[in-house]
Copies of this chain bind each other. A is one copy, B any other.
Amino acid sequence: MNKYSEMSKTELLCEYEQVKAKYEELCNKGLSLDMSRGKPGADQLDLTLDMFNLVNEESGYKTRDGIDCRNYGGVDGIPEIKELFAEIFGVDTSKVIASGNASLSLMFDVISQAVTHGLGFEPWSKQGKLKFLCPVPGYDRHFSITEYFGIEMINVPMTENGPDMDIVEELIKDSSVKGMWCVPKYSNPDGIVYSDETVKRLAAMKPAAGDFRIMWDNAYAIHPVFGDRAEILNILKECEKAGDPDKVIMFTSTSKITFPGAGVAALAASDNNIAAIKRRMSVQTIGPDKLNQLRHARLLPDMAAVTEHMKRHSAILAPKFDTVLRGLETQLGGLGIARWSKPQGGYFISMFVENGCAKRIVEMCREAGLVLTGAGATYPYGKDPDDSNIRIAPSFPTCAELEMATELLCAVTRLVCLEKLING
């Protein structure tokens, strides 16, 4: 196809009529499609049905060490599940806390604690203005947490190797910059894998704030879609080497390994951070749901089992990602009006359209029956300064639905860009 920017006015008008007809045809279908959230499909959830039968009267409800998982106790999780997470994080078991079903809550609670009590440092609430670095586009729920606690968010552009480290290293000279959100592998939404250099620079940097914390949300640590899983450097080990082990807290969960609503979340951190977090947790809870942790430990006894299990997920996800990527390439490729990520893992495809067009595209898709993540949601305060990023979540719909959804998205994208070109 020809680039729109090289078309004459007449050609543009002609194209506009064609695309408009296509769009109206799709509108008339009364579609009801949703590519808005990174939610596994029912077929993925079916991969884990065995879990229901792993803890019961016959198989027992005690840990290896004889702890009755039905009763109270054990604030940091049962040994079996801590060991599994230790392998996933690549750290010693003593540096792991396994908890309930939501890594989001672990992150919220760590920020909350930093604000009210500190993690061995003066509470952030007593330090005046607070700022956080937010690589963009990023995960809306991270931004919601920082906004909730009144922490000013500063956008940091992403490169193909992770956050732009030149900019990060400049911004951390401000002592009110207290931390940074990172999704280091198959980032949300770009699917970017942080390079070794990026991890090393993050570990080596010396923020003016001694209580700076990297919130390392490795949500897709073992979630390839195509091929083998990407490996990244272990940030905690790199921080240890740099003499600064307290600077990072790592998070992950089984939400997209087992059940999103009933998985197990975990964090890993330095001894100091773990001790501080446990001090708070011992006031906040008598312990996590150990029965669910035991179910998980029995379903996924080691990394080999996890890797096999994740292959079954990618076998379901790969055709879905393929469907969307093929649709985008066929219907938008070469037009010069959009670019998009080709992620090797994670849950999203990130599309960038002409500046000022994203909101309108998402809105028109919605009117035609396709729900996308709200334009702007991938930026702090919901404000995409260029109004150009659209997050596509291909995991929940079927391939047939994705084909239709992509067709609609492409038609709308063309239409909106054509309008912009024609009108000025």
Give chain A's interface residues, CB within 8 Å of chain B.
37, 39-40, 42, 45, 48-49, 52-53, 55-57, 61, 68-74, 100-102, 104-105, 108-109, 112, 115-117, 125, 141, 144-145, 148-149, 255, 259-262, 280, 283-292
Q: Are A260 and B284 in contact (CB under 8 A)?
A: no
Given A45-B68, A70-B262, A102 and B285 contact (CB-CB distance below 8 Å): yes
A73 to B149, CA, bound (A): 23
Q: Are B52 and A260 in contact (CB under 8 A)?
A: no
Q: Are A280 and B71 in contact (CB under 8 A)?
A: no
Q: Are B292 and A72 in contact (CB under 8 A)?
A: no
Copies of this protein, total: 2
Q: Are B70 and A45 in contact (CB under 8 A)?
A: yes
Q: Are B101 and A283 in contact (CB under 8 A)?
A: no
Q: Are B55 and A42 in contact (CB under 8 A)?
A: no
Kindly list 15 other residue pairs between chains A and B, CB separation below 8 angstroms, not including A71-B259, A141-B283.
A42-B71, A52-B55, A69-B261, A70-B259, A70-B261, A71-B260, A71-B261, A74-B261, A100-B100, A112-B116, A116-B125, A145-B284, A259-B291, A261-B288, A262-B292
Shortest CB-to-CB span from A18 to chain B, Å, is 39
A42, A55, A141, A260: residue with the most chain B Cβ atoms closer than 10 Å: A260
Residues of B within 8 A of A108 (CB): 283-285
A376 to B198, CA, bound (A): 53
A125 to B73, CA, bound (A): 31
**Which 4 pairs show the lowest CB-CB distances between chains A and B?**
A52-B56, A262-B291, A70-B259, A108-B284
Residues of B within 8 A of A280 (CB): 148
* The one of B45, B145, B262, B283 that contacts A290, using a Cβ cutoff of 8 Å: B262
A61 to B49, CA, bound (A): 10
A39 to B71, CA, bound (A): 7
